[in-house]
Copies of this chain bind each other. A is one copy, B any other.
Amino acid sequence: MSRRYLNLTALSEALAMMRREFPSPGRAETVPLAEAVGRVTAEPLYAGYSVPVADIAKFDGYAVKSGETRGAQDQQPLPLAGYARVNTGEVLPRPFDAVVMIEDTWNEGGVPRIRKSAAPGQNIRRAGEDVRAGELVLPKGHRIRPFDIGALATYGIDRLAVRSVRVGIVPTGSDLVPLGTAPGPGQTIETNTLMAEAYLAGFGATCRRYGIVPDEPDLIREAVEAAVAENDLVILSAGSSAGTRDFSRDVVEVLGEIVFHGIAVRPGKPVLLANVGGRPVLGMPGYPVAAQTVLREVAGALLAGWGLEPLPGEELDVRLSRRLASDLGFDEFVPVSIGRVDGTCWATPHPRGGGIQMAVVRANGYLHIPAAREGIEAGEEVRVRLTVPPASVARTLVCVGRRDPVLGELGNLLAEAGYHLHCCNASTIGAVLALRAKTCHAATVALPETASAWSDQVLRYLPDVRLLRVPVARTEFGVASAGDLDAGSLASLRVVNRPVAQFLLDAWLDREGIALSPSGVPGDVRVCSALEARESGLRFTSIGYESCDLVIREEFAADEGVAALIEAARSPGFCAYLRAVGRDPGDGAADDVSSA
A166 to chain B, nearest CB (A): 18
* CB of A154 within 8 Å of the partner chain: yes
Tell me if B90 and A135 are in contact (CB < 8 A): no
Which residues from B are CB-within-8-Å of A102? 2, 242-243
Q: With A154-B357, A389-B314 known to touch, is A60 a contact of B130 (CB < 8 Å)? A: no
* CB of A539 within 8 Å of the partner chain: no
A-B contact pairs, 26 of them (CB 8 A): A33-B179, A44-B412, A60-B246, A103-B242, A129-B355, A130-B356, A135-B405, A136-B412, A139-B421, A141-B415, A141-B416, A142-B415, A147-B360, A148-B361, A149-B191, A149-B194, A149-B198, A150-B198, A150-B357, A151-B357, A153-B189, A153-B191, A154-B357, A158-B180, A312-B391, A314-B390
Identical chains bound together, number: 2
One digit per residue, 1 when the CB lies within 8 angstroms of any chain B CB and 0 when it does not, for chain A 61-91 equals: 0000000000000000000000001011111
Tell me if A87 and B390 are in contact (CB < 8 A): no
Distance in angstroms between the alpha carbons of A149 and B357 in the assembled complex: 10
Which residues from B are CB-within-8-Å of A136? 405, 408-409, 411-412
* CB of A22 within 8 Å of the partner chain: no
One digit per residue, 1 when the CB lies within 8 angstroms of any chain B CB and 0 when it does not, for chain A 45-56 equals: 010000110000
Distance in angstroms between the alpha carbons of A353 and B89 in the assembled complex: 13
Tell me if B130 and A158 are in contact (CB < 8 A): no
Distance in angstroms between the alpha carbons of A286 and B59 in the assembled complex: 11
Residues 1-15 (chain A) with a chain B CB within 8 angstroms: 2, 4
Give the interface segment out of A252-260, A287-295, A453-461, A498-506.
A287-295
* CB of A449 within 8 Å of the partner chain: no
Distance in angstroms between the alpha carbons of A91 and B387 in the assembled complex: 32
A136 to chain B, nearest CB (A): 3
* CB of A197 within 8 Å of the partner chain: yes
Q: Most B CB atoms within 10 A — which of A89, A130, A361, A389?
A: A361
How many A residues touch the partner, as a band? 35 or more
Q: With A153-B179, A156-B189, A186-B90 known to touch, is A138 a contact of B37 (CB < 8 Å)? A: no
Tell me if A198 and B89 are in contact (CB < 8 A): no
One digit per residue, 1 when the CB lies within 8 angstroms of any chain B CB and 0 when it does not, for chain A 387-424 equals: 11111000000000000010011011011100011000
The one of B34, B138, B151, B409 in contact with A288, judged by C-beta atoms closer than 8 angstroms, is B151
Tell me if B195 and A287 are in contact (CB < 8 A): no
Closest 9 CB pairs of A and B: A136-B408, A150-B195, A153-B191, A312-B389, A60-B243, A151-B357, A146-B199, A146-B198, A139-B415
* CB of A131 within 8 Å of the partner chain: yes
The one of B147, B286, B353, B416 in contact with A292, judged by C-beta atoms closer than 8 angstroms, is B147
Q: With A288-B151, A291-B150 known to touch, is A243 a contact of B415 (CB < 8 Å)? A: no
Residues 81-126 (chain A) with a chain B CB within 8 angstroms: 85, 87-91, 102-103, 125
Tell me if B88 and A241 are in contact (CB < 8 A): yes
* CB of A134 within 8 Å of the partner chain: yes
* CB of A583 within 8 Å of the partner chain: no
Tell me if A191 and B150 are in contact (CB < 8 A): yes
* CB of A485 within 8 Å of the partner chain: no
Tell me if B60 and A288 are in contact (CB < 8 A): no
Q: With A33-B194, A129-B355, A147-B195 known to touch, is A138 a contact of B361 (CB < 8 Å)? A: yes
Which residues from B are CB-within-8-Å of A584? none
Which residues from B are CB-within-8-Å of A130? 353, 355-358
Tell me if B147 and A411 are in contact (CB < 8 A): no
* CB of A160 within 8 Å of the partner chain: no
* CB of A466 within 8 Å of the partner chain: no
Tell me if B242 and A391 are in contact (CB < 8 A): no
Tell me if B292 and A125 are in contact (CB < 8 A): no
Tell me if A405 and B243 are in contact (CB < 8 A): no
One digit per residue, 1 when the CB lies within 8 angstroms of any chain B CB and 0 when it does not, for chain A 19-55 equals: 0000000000000011001000000101000011000
* CB of A244 within 8 Å of the partner chain: yes
* CB of A192 within 8 Å of the partner chain: yes
